[in-house]
C-alpha cells in the first residue's frame, strides 16, 4: 500500500518561452524537497497545466515565465482552473514575469489580483519558493 501521498506539483514555463535551465533546476529542487513533481517543460499552455493537474490531482501549479510576457500568458488562468473544477488550487508564479523596470510590489499586486497566491521576483532562490509552498499547502511540521 502507498504511504502518505506526497504533495504533487505541476510545473512548467508558460507561453512561447523556451528557457529550459531554470525549469530543470526547479524540478530537481522540488523533487529533493520531497514533492512529487510533474514537469511539463517549456512552452506550456494554460490548458496543459490544467489537464495535468486534473489527471494527477495536483496540490499546486507553479508557473515560470522568463521572457517578460508572463502577464499576458497568465491572464485568465485562475478562471480557467475554476471552470475545470480545480477550485481554489494554489497558483504560484515567478521569474522575469514582466518587462522593464517596475516596482515589484505593483507587479505582485497585479498577479495577486489575477488569482495567483504567491508571486516571486527575479532571482528568487528555490528554497524561498519551497518554504512558501510548504506554507500554502499546510505542510508545516510535516517531514517531507
Partner 1 sequence: MSAVLLIDFGSTYTKLTAVDVETERLLGTASAYTTVTTDINEGLEAARRRLEEEIGHRHFDACYACSSAAGGLRMVTSGLVPELTGEAARLASLGAGAKVVGVYAFELTEDDLEEIAAAQPDIFLLVGGTDGGNTACILHNAQMLSRLRPAFPIVVAGNRTAARQCQRLLAGWEVYLCPNVMPKFGVLHIEPTQKQIREIFLSRIIQAKGLSRAQSLLSDILMPTPSAVLQAVELLAQGCEGEEGIGELVAVDVGGATTDVYSVADGMPQEMNTVYKGLPEPYAKRTVEGDIGMRYSVQGIVEAAGLSRVGALSGLTPQRVEQLTAQLRQYPDCVPAGDGELEQLDFALASCAVEEAVRRHAGTISETYTMMGRTFVQEGKNLTGVRQIVVTGGSLIHTGRTAEIAARALYDPAHPESLRPKTAEIWVDQKYILAAMGLLASRYPQTALRIMKKELRHHGYSE
- Catalytic residues, by residue number, are 17, 19
- Count of alpha carbons within 13 angstroms of residue 1, beta-carbon side: 2
By CB under 8 A, residue 137 contacts partner 1: no
Shortest distance, CB of residue 2 to partner 1, whole angstroms? Answer: 7
By CB under 8 A, residue 87 contacts partner 1: no
By CB under 8 A, residue 4 contacts partner 1: no
By CB under 8 A, residue 107 contacts partner 1: no
By CB under 8 A, residue 99 contacts partner 1: no
Considering only 52, 77, 119, 132, the residue that binds partner 1 (CB under 8 A) is 52
Shortest distance, CB of residue 97 to partner 1, whole angstroms? Answer: 14
Q: 119-129 as b/e, with b when 16 or more CB fall inside 10 Å?
A: bbeeeeebeeb
Considering only 21, 57, 101, 143, the residue that binds partner 1 (CB under 8 A) is 57
How is 73-93 classified by DSSP, letter by letter? HHTTHHHHHHHTT-TT--EEE
- Count of alpha carbons within 13 angstroms of residue 14, beta-carbon side: 27
Q: Is 85 left (phi over 0), alpha (psi -120 to 50) or beta?
A: left
Site string for partner 1, 18-47 (x = CB under 8 A): xx----------------x-x--xxx----
Considering only 29, 31, 51, 71, the residue that binds partner 1 (CB under 8 A) is 51
By CB under 8 A, residue 2 contacts partner 1: yes
Phi first, then psi: give them for residue 108, nearest 5 degrees: -60, -40
64 neighbors 26 (Cβ within 8 angstroms): yes
Amino acid at each position: 500500500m502507498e504511504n502518505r501521498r506526497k504533495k504533487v506539483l505541476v510545473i512548467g514555463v508558460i507561453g512561447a518561452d523556451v528557457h529550459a535551465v531554470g525549469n530543470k533546476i526547479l524540478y530537481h529542487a522540488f523533487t529533493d524537497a520531497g514533492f512529487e513533481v510533474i514537469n511539463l517543460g517549456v512552452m506550456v499552455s494554460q490548458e496543459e497545466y490544467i489537464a495535468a493537474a486534473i489527471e494527477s490531482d495536483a496540490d499546486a501549479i507553479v508557473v515560470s515565465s522568463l521572457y517578460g510576457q508572463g502577464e499576458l500568458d497568465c491572464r485568465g488562468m485562475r478562471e480557467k482552473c475554476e471552470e475545470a473544477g480545480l477550485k481554489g488550487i494554489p497558483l504560484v508564479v515567478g521569474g522575469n514575469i514582466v518587462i522593464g523596470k517596475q516596482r515589484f510590489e505593483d507587479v505582485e499586486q497585479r498577479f495577486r489580483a489575477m488569482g495567483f497566491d504567491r508571486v516571486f521576483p527575479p532571482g528568487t532562490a528555490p528554497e524561498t519558493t519551497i518554504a512558501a509552498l510548504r506554507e500554502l499547502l499546510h505542510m508545516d511540521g510535516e517531514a517531507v
